[in-house]
Amino acid sequence: MKIHKDISLKNYNTFGIDMYANQFTEIASTDEICELISGKEFSNIPTLVLGGGSNILLTKKVVGLVLKISCKGIEVTGEDEQFRYLKAAAGENWHGLVTYCVERNFCGIENLSLIPGSVGAAPIQNIGAYGVELKDVFYELEAIHRFTGERRKFSAEECKFGYRDSVFKNDLKNQYIITSVTLALRKKPVFNTSYGDIEKELEVMEVKEINVKSISDAVCRIRRRKLPDPSVLGNAGSFFKNPTIANDYYTLLKRNFPDIPGYKSGDEQIKTSAGWLIDKCGWKGKRVGNCGVHNDHALVLVNYGGASGSEIYELSEKIKKSVIEMFGIELEREVNVIK
């Protein structure tokens, strides 16, 4: 394990922001994490844990140490009548894990195909797409306390999963380094094709019999059409969460905006589309300097080349302000802003 000085993080974040870190090291095992924690140097400096860099916006130089988690390994750890338990190291690429499952006909995460990022970051965000969230297949994770070196397992209940949320973004923020995630994948397939355009895409593909691979292929086709490839156009996927508002307020908004989308979220709330709100405010396809809002997806902020993290953050502030002014709704960022 080698600690590097003044390293550019441009290749370690999907926005492609050329921001530097005072110190940088890549971690290949849990033993290396424990070794680092036990050293006196680690306890005295701030630390940023980095996975795939797909959900982060760097607006300033990172003072302290950046830990790039690169632990690898995927294995079936057990099974029972209903489930097969699959454990993946935190440094594994998420879509790589999906591909692993698809190739073996393991059902459960095919709807989460092509989501950028690492396995270790998935539970922090409770990643989700096309009607499935990580919590739906989650069994447990293993993590190491940043300051004590204590190794601990977290159940789904202990993770307190919510919409793009978990205990690791709240009560336990910056306290644990996730080292592995174990999924409970059903042996008897339960396919989810009702969300978004999956059924329509399967028809276009002329799929006769639905299976894990056909759903994954359909999701990949949809995502590639709608979302820009970060290796071509810097972005972090959806920048804002879809907001949840009270039923009464949604009814009031619908009088003035009859086409505003809404989906039940509990008994008294409605979840609406952040992308729709941003589009209605005139931001879709708009460019501001070296950054802007993607032409095909209003939720995606992009770096056209040379944009700073501060420029993208300021654009997001302007978007938030315009949505408040037009709809009275405050958007919440999905992306983790380092500022």
Residues classed as catalytic: 164, 238, 334
Q: DSSP assignment of 5-46, as one string?
A: EEEE-GGGSTT----EEEEEEEE-SHHHHHHHHHSHHHHTS-
- Judge whether 159 and 136 are in contact, CB under 8 Å: no
CA 242, distance to chain mean position in Å, is: 14
> Tokens 């708009």 belong to which residue?
286
Q: DSSP assignment of 207-276, as one string?
A: -SS--HHHHHHHHHHHHHHHS--TTTSEEEEE-BPPPEEEHHHHHHHHHH-TT---EE-SSSEEE--HHH
75: helix, strand or coil: strand
